[in-house]
Structure formats: C-alpha cells, structure tokens
Amino acid sequence: MEQNIVKIKGKNGGARPGAGRPKGSTNKITATELIDAAERVIGKPFIDSLLEGYQDTIINGDRKTRVIYEKMIMDKIIGDKAEIEIVNPEATIEEKAKAFADALAALSNKDKP
C-alpha cells in the first residue's frame, strides 16, 4: 500500500532570523553563583545557615534528616581531604588497583568504632 506524503512549506517550522539560543549562552548555574545568591537571600554565610539546619535536626530529634546532613558534610570533608600518592610508578595495574582498594577500605573503616 503506497501513501502520498504532502509537505506544505511556509506554514510552521524552519529557521527564523534571531530564533534560538544566543551563541555562548549556558543553561547551567555554578555552585558559586548558587551559594552567593543564597547568601544574599538569607543574609548570612551559607555555611552558617547549613549548620543551623543541621543543629535543628539534632534539637528536634529528626534522625532521618540528620543522617542526610551528616552524609553531605562528611562527603565534602572526605572529598576535600583524601589524597592518593603513587609511591611506585612502575607497579602493575593490578598492584595499583589493589593498593587503591586497600586505601579505600582503610578510609571507610576509619568511621567505624
């Protein structure tokens, strides 16, 4: 069964002068821009507001939200402080993978009593 397809030009669609996003535009907001805006709105440093929210979870006994705050804070601390030093550049890939896994296991066991 054969179908005829008819195209009507000039009705809708197609390129239009000045349409679309400008060159170089971005749809992403940076973390710095977000924090700066938050500080302007709340009138104090963002970290102070963040820690006040954490304190509220402790005072109100909101363990579920407290865990979220603690994970977020610890992820930031560990992400900023963790370092990996390659002391034997001639080591094989397998040796490096094992050393990395051991270092990661040691790091995760630091938080356990």
Residue, of 111 and 48, whose pLDDT is higher: 48
Distance CA(102)–CA(95), nearest Å, equals 11
pLDDT at residue 104 in the model: 75
- At 18-77, the pLDDT tens digits run 777 778 777 778 888 999 999 999 999 998 999 999 999 999 999 999 999 998 888 877
16 pLDDT band, cuts 50/70/90, is: confident
Full-model pTM = 0.46
Domain residue extents for the chain: 31-104
Q: Residue 7 to residues 4, 10, 11, 14, 48: CA-CA distances in angstroms?
A: 10, 10, 10, 13, 61
Given a contact cutoff of 8 angstroms between Cβ atoms, the answer to whether 78 and 107 are in contact is: yes
Distance CA(60)–CA(58), nearest Å, equals 6
